[in-house]
Amino acid sequence: GSKYQSGARYINATVINNGKNAQSNFNVSCKIEEVTQPEQVTTVFSDGFETDLSKWTVSPSGKWVRSTTYANSGSYSARCLYDANSTDYNLTSQNIDITSATNAKFEYYFKGSSENTYDKLYAEIKKTTDTTWTILATYTGTTYESAWNKGSFDISSYVGSTVQTRFRFYTDNSVLNGIGWYIDDVTVSKTIPLVTQLVFNT
């Protein structure tokens, strides 16, 4: 159907009989719905790290910190400490509700560098009911060192669930080559569906 602005409208219906036999009686149906809530995009999670890391769990403790060395906006970003420990340093978000939506998006800004191939930053997501994380992106080397870069992912396949996002840095136990990794302006948004109310039906 079509959408119209509010106001008075007149309906004119023309019926064409393409059959071989004349018809004196026929049925016509008409339904009109009022939009009570338009489709809209709303941000359900955001953090620019300007205050603290209270929206995140850092594991092991202290391996992700707030930093003023670089910031995409404001004064702070989240920085992963870069050392040689052959382990994962995790920055895991709180639970994020993306139920009651038609689609959803996960976005963030990142900057940094690390030993190519061996030391990597991963952007990940999972449903809170799952135990396995899905890798959305992998960053390594010096490609992303000179400027802030944007990561943007359609996570509509997770709509209807509560999710967590995670930034995971893995470093091996030898060469340290780079400035490490910085994350800023993380958002998760969802599109709330159109809501209508039936006002005429015949």
- Reply yes or no on whether the pLDDT at 195 is more than 70: no
State residue 62 phi and psi, 5-degree precision: 85, -5
> What DSSP state is assigned to residue 178?
S
Tokens 């205050």 map to which residue?
Answer: 51
Number of structural domains the chain divides into: 1
Confidence of residue 199 (pLDDT cuts 50, 70, 90): low
Whether 89 is covered by a domain: the verdict is yes
Whole-number Cα distances in Å, 72 to 58, 183, 188, 190: 21, 8, 17, 23
| 41-45, 59-63, 196-200: segment of lowest average pLDDT | 196-200
Which CATH number is 187's domain given? 2.60.120.200
What is the band of 113 on the pLDDT scale with cuts at 50, 70, 90? very high
- This prediction has a pTM of 0.79
Look at residue 1 and tell me if it is in a domain.
Answer: no
The pLDDT tens digits for 28-44 are: 776 766 665 667 899 99
What's the whole-number average pLDDT of the chain? 90
Q: Confirm whether 138 is domain-assigned.
A: yes
134: phi then psi, degrees, rounded to nearest 5? -105, 125
For residue 99, give its domain range: 40-192
